[in-house]
Amino acid sequence: MIGVGVDFGTTNSTIAWFDGERLQVVQFTGSGAILPTAIHLSRDYVGTTGIEAIERYVLENTARLVHMVPEILGQSAGEIADNSTPSDMIELSTSRNLVFGPLIDHGLPGRLFLGLKRLLGNAAVERLWVFNRPYRLVALLTPLLLRMRESLERELLAPVVNVHVGRPVNFEGADDNRNAVAVQRLAEACQHAGFRQIEFYPEPVAATISFLWRQRLRSSGTVLTLDFGGGTLDLSVVRYVGTQFEVLATAGEDLGGDRIDQLLFRRLLFPLLGEGEVWRRSVDGRVVETLFPFSDYEEGILNWAITHTLNQNKYKSKLTELIARGGPAAVKFERLKDLINYNYSYNVYSAIKQAKAELSRREATTIDIPELNLKIPFTRLEFEQILPEVMARLGQLIHQVLEGAAVSMPAIDLVVRTGGSSQIVAVAKLLEELFPGRVTEHDPFTSVAGGLAIANYHRMRLAI
Q: What is the pLDDT of residue 97?
A: 52
pTM: 0.87
Give residue 108's pLDDT. 83
Region of poorest pLDDT, from 22-31, 38-47, 76-85: 76-85
**pLDDT reading at 444 higher than 90:** yes
81-111 pLDDT tens trace: 333 333 333 333 334 454 445 566 777 889 8
Pairing between strand 12-18 and 278-283? Answer: unpaired
Residue span(s) of the chain under CATH 3.30.420.40 come to 3-63+111-201, 217-257+387-443
Amino acid at 182: A
At residue 334 the predicted structure's pLDDT band, cuts being 50, 70 and 90, is very high
Q: What is the pLDDT of residues 371-416, one digit of tens each?
A: 999 999 999 999 999 999 999 999 999 999 999 999 999 999 999 9
C-alpha 430/C-alpha 441 separation (Å) is 14
pLDDT tens-digit profile of 37-69? 999 999 999 999 999 999 999 888 877 766 666
What is the assigned CATH class of domain 217-257+387-443?
Answer: alpha beta
Kindly state the average pLDDT of the residues 205-213: 96
Pairing of strands 3-7, 162-167: parallel
Between 35-49, 155-169, 313-327, 391-405, the lowest mean confidence (pLDDT) is in 313-327
- CATH architecture label of 3-63+111-201: 2-Layer Sandwich (3.30)
CA R_g for the chain: 26
Whole-number Å distance between alpha carbons of 16 and 405: 29
What is the C-alpha separation between 149 and 49, in angstroms, rounded? 13
The answer for residues whose C-beta is within 8 angstroms of residue 5's C-beta and 6 or more apart is 15, 16, 17, 18, 163, 164, 165, 166, 206, 448, 449, 450, 451, 452, 453, 454, 455, 456
